[in-house]
């Protein structure tokens, strides 16, 4: 290595990007080899997305689910830049930022995740709410507050997509709104949770039925307006009134990523080797939603938070190895099962030979996610709050 420290630029502060940065900060670089690590994200907060649903029902607070990057990176040498990426030049190894800044890099990590496309159906961009970011959660919270304070007898909610996000949102909203809820899920295929285990699918079906959630299978959305949604089923279009539409389907890569001269698949994902390096560009690593990755065993790696979490560990190590003349490790994806929330204090999980549902699954899910939160300090703060919150609530009720 030269006398100048290596520059590592990480674009995207989700599970892939943030956890890679934290992994890098804990590796044995040596006094003269410590690189300059810069993490770039347009938002000021990391979002622990699997727990975003708990904000809808008030089971958790925003600081628990979305801690600021400044707090998480405190005590590290990682620099954080809050801005969006304008352009990446892979020839000059530079990243141009929307705030006018320019970053040089020796190693680049692409971890910008995906975006929810809302331009496929007329009206979706104007009237549907996606559910991917903390801003989406706040927007949903504001809309629910308006609806709950209205004189409407029923609050009519349509959720587009019966995957994990759609089912979890449906159960949470049904529990939050109670008797006022009229929730329906709209799914193009012939079943909910198509890629899920049969145990979780059965538990979810039961949870939806118990909460009176309608499920429209083999149905597509034709258009959305301010107070209605038009659905296509078996060649007939039916327009029904609706107060709120949530859009949970589809992912596409950022336009900056799409414009890169790198090998991509038909979905616009960047093709990487098992070491998570971009084909023909070993100085660039790509992980998470925007990467098309087959691991060391040749299995296709899914675009999930679980996969990005695991990839970050390997990416951090391989960045260190590539800058210290050590062999890189091929990524080995381990399927650890799947966990879903199915309402307030209710969940289902399968994995490692275990199948649980109900309050027991909810407890295991909470503890598993607590263990995966980004720093020990944040884990301790959240864990302490979870333990003391019931006590504080009980004292408050006694004082009323």
Q: Is the pLDDT of residue 67 over 80?
A: yes
pLDDT score of 377 more than 80 = yes
Query: How many CA atoms, within 13 angstroms, populate the side-chain half-sphere of residue 25?
Result: 20
Lookup result for tokens 């389907």:
249
Average pLDDT over residues 72-82: 96
- Total-model pTM: 0.92
pLDDT at 398: 64
Would you place residue 1 in the very low, low, confident or very high pLDDT band (cuts 50, 70, 90)? very low
Q: Is residue 230 a contact partner of residue 238, using CB atoms and an 8 Å limit?
A: yes
- Using DSSP bridges, classify how beta strands 214-216 and 155-160 pair: parallel, antiparallel or unpaired: unpaired
Q: What are the beta bridge partners of residue 215? A: 185
pLDDT tens, position by position, 164-215 = 999 999 999 999 999 999 999 999 999 999 988 899 999 999 999 999 999 9
Q: Provide the pLDDT for residue 353.
A: 82
Distance CA 72, CA 378 (A): 8
Q: Residues 115, 104: contact at Cβ < 8 Å?
A: no
User: Distance between CA 67 and CA 358 in Å, rounded?
Assistant: 28
298 vs 380: CA distance, rounded Å: 38
Render pLDDT for 250-287 as a digit per residue (tens, 0 to 9). Answer: 988 999 999 999 999 998 999 999 999 999 999 999 99
> Which structural domains are found in the chain, ordered by start?
7-42+83-115+252-323 (3.50.50.60), 124-247 (3.50.50.60), 338-399 (no CATH)
What's the pLDDT score for residue 209? 97
Per-residue pLDDT tens over the stretch 10-65:
999 999 999 999 999 999 887 778 899 999 999 999 999 999 999 999 999 999 99
Quote the CA–CA distance of 86 and 95 in Å, as a whole number: 8
């Amino acid at each position: 290595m030269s006398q100048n420290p290596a520059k590592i630029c990480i674009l995207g502060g989700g599970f892939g990007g943030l956890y890679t940065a934290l992994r890098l900060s804990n590796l044995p670089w040596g006094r003269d080899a410590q690189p300059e690590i810069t993490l770039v994200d347009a938002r000021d907060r990391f979002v622990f997305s699997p727990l975003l649903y708990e904000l809808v029902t008030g089971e958790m607070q925003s600081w628990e689910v979305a801690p600021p990057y400044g707090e998480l990176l405190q005590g590290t040498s990682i620099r954080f830049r809050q801005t969006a990426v304008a352009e990446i030049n892979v020839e000059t190894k530079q990243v141009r930022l929307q705030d006018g800044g320019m970053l040089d890099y020796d190693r680049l990590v692409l971890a910008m995740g995906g975006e929810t496309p809302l331009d496929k159906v007329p009206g979706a961009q104007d009237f549907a709410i996606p559910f991917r970011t903390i801003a989406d959660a706040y927007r949903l919270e504001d809309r629910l507050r308006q609806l709950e304070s209205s004189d409407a007898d029923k609050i009519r909610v349509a959720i587009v997509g019966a995957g994990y996000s759609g089912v979890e949102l449906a159960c949470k909203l049904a529990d939050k709104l109670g008797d006022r809820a009229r929730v329906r899920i709209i799914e193009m295929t012939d079943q909910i949770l198509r890629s899920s285990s049969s145990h979780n699918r059965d538990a979810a079906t039961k949870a939806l039925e118990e909460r009176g959630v309608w499920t429209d299978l083999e149905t597509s959305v034709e258009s959305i307006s301010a107070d209605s949604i038009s659905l296509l089923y078996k060649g007939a279009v039916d327009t029904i009134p609706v107060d709120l539409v949530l859009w949970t389907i589809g992912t596409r890569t950022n336009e900056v990523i799409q414009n890169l001269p790198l090998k991509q698949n038909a979905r616009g994902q960047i093709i990487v080797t098992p070491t998570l390096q971009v084909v023909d560009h070993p100085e660039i690593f790509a992980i998470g939603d925007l990467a098309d990755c087959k691991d060391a065993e040749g299995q296709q790696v899914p675009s999930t938070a679980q996969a990005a979490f695991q990839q970050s560990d390997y990416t951090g190590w391989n960045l260190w190895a590539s800058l210290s003349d050590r062999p890189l490790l091929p990524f080995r994806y381990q399927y650890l099962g799947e966990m879903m929330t199915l309402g307030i204090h209710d969940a289902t999980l399968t994995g490692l030979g275990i199948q649980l549902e109900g309050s027991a699954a909810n407890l295991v899910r909470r503890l598993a996610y607590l263990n995966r939160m980004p720093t020990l300090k944040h884990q301790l703060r959240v864990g302490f709050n979870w333990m003391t919150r019931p006590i504080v609530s009980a004292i408050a009720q006694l004082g009323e």
